Amino acid sequence: MNILICGFPHSGTTLLRKIIGSIDSVYETIDERNYIDDKIIEMANGKHIVIKFPFTYTTFFEPSYNNYIKIVIIRNPYYIYSSLNSRFKKEIPNNHNINRCLNTIHNFMFLKRNNTKNTFFLKYEEMFDDSFLAIRNILTTLKISYDNSIFKNKVVMDYDKIPNQWDDNNKLANQEYRKWQLQQKYEYKDFNRPVFLTQEQYDILENSSVMKEINYKKPDIVNII
């Protein structure tokens, strides 16, 4: 079975791949990719294969991807863009722009309403509820056996302090911060977390019909940067 996880950057695609990829019968690719080639199939040695891509392309729902199970994950854009602002010092790449994010959410709702074949839909905010029930339901539907250990990060490590966040001039420091991120407990951390947005980002989200339709709320504390 081929499983493709997609969504939008900083929406939880890596975390979801890591959880599913820790199942004994699943082979996890570490790189970001949107296809499975013969080399990956050979390395998987008969196991299910899970890959992840940070964006959601319309081609994923066309016949060429019929042999993939898709899991689309979205997250409240207030938290996405607070995270991206921290990562890129407000210089967010064009392909991460906020309108593309909102369009991803719009397509998520459209595909879900239309019961798109071989596709599961997941909100990051709901992924942790009821002991990861949403993920459990997906795995049960796919008839993939697992045990509860997949919901516990096997490499949790303690740090005396949080490593410095993204530094454009220090690749090693960036790797250390990413390592720290991936070594945290699997738990929902957005609750009551303050966000940091530009005025433009804030205005777009506040006036977005997509945000109203998906029922994503503004966090209690929003700082304009």
**CATH number of the domain residue 208 falls in:** 3.40.50
Domain span at 113: 2-224
Q: What's the confidence (pLDDT) of residue 26?
A: 97
Q: For strand 68-74 and strand 222-224, is the pairing parallel, antiparallel, or unpaired?
A: unpaired
Q: Rounded CA gap, 71 and 111, in Å?
A: 11
Do 50 and 184 touch, CB atoms closer than 8 A?
no
Termini Cα distance of the chain: 45
Among residues 68, 24, 67, 60, the alpha carbon closest in space to that of 44 is found at 24
Number of domains in the chain: 1
| Per-residue pLDDT tens digits for 20-48 | 999 999 999 989 999 999 999 999 999 99
Whether residue 158 has pLDDT greater than 80: no
Whether residue 2 has pLDDT greater than 90: yes
Give residue 49's region: left, alpha or beta (phi > 0; psi -120 to 50): beta
